[in-house]
Chains A and B, each alone.
Chain A
Amino acid sequence: MPGIPPEHAILLAAVLFLLGLTGVLVRRNVIFILMSIEIMLNAAGLAFIVAGAAWGQPDGQVMFIFILSMAAAEVSVGLALVLRMYHCFKTLDADAASKMRG
């Protein structure tokens, strides 16, 4: 990490994570919620990369690869759920699926 303070990079990761969390909390479209979750996972990976670069160890990038594979699995299952929900409710509103009548 030549010349870049790690505080600033961690701050960037925190800002991105907060933006993703805001998106998850405020949007009602399931597609936007999935995108915000991707942003949050990406910010977590950025924090790992910053830590790995700060200590000069490859472990940060290894954890980033794990986060990447987890994000890929998550988005595939999430999009399958989105398709299922659209076939059931004919909408992507997250509030339409809020009636859990077990």
Chain B
Amino acid sequence: MIDADVHAVITDSGVLAPYLERQWVEYMSISQFRGPTDNSYPPSAATSLRPDAVGMPPVTVTQLTDAVFTGDVEAAVLSCSYAVDSVHNPNAADALARAVNRWLADEWLGVDPRLYGTVLVTPQSPADAVRQIEEATGNGRFVQVALPVRSLSPYGLRGYWPIFEAAAAAGLAVALHFGGSPGLAPTSTGWPTYYAEEYVDMASSFQVQLASIVLSGLFSRLPALRLVAAEAGTSWVPGMTWRLDRLWRALRREVPWVTSPPSEYLREHVRFTMQPFDAGPSGPEPDMVLYSSDYPHWHGEDLGQRWLASLDDSGQAAVLRGNAAGWYGIPR
């Protein structure tokens, strides 16, 4: 089995000090800047932490591997959602992103060969993001780049294309990941009161990002591009594709470079991590889903496991291993 979504968490930016140039250690020390604050996973929200994850975060390598590598799990894709996208000093954001990637490589991927890495980038500075990808992939243990699904602009905009080009050139998947702190309201109608609203509405951010990417024509430019919608749920996928296909049929003169219904591009280029599982009784198509635990986050009663158990053998094999092995190029 491959677990496509597990997390290293930084609660004390001190862990990055060995990976930061002296200038940035001083910068953080003088300002008492403790690293970006990100409330995508509020510390006490029911979805942030498994009930058995006592004393966390931080998560240590041992805690994580003990919890994740149970049963048949033989590989896991690790990411760190450190909110460098919220740091407006571009040099500081770049330094922090590179430090996180080195920390991941040294203290996680280097310690346990079953872990595969996700490159943290600064989407607000695409040129820096390209260098962050190039630097990290020298290590050989990174299999994807993560972009927080909330961003300043939709990722189909040309300014972001170099990030996708660099990822595709390095053979990496690109994950759109739950969360992000770009400074804009999380809905197009402003800032909601409750985290519960942000959590529900995150599905909308995934939809507009995927619509933007497919309508931009990026998939025609990068036919090998592989996307992952991480922690997106799948409840919204049928409604989204009906709506987008229908609009494309009516309005496709505006985007003549999109020559097939958008749903066809999405089916070819996008996969979804299993947790948090939010689909109704019929569930998603097994070919589209990558098994994930989302450790150490929590999703209550395990509808995902129940859905998995309802699949036939080939469906289960695809979700548990085959889909991710192909998507990430993880060897047996």
Chains A and B form a bound pair: no
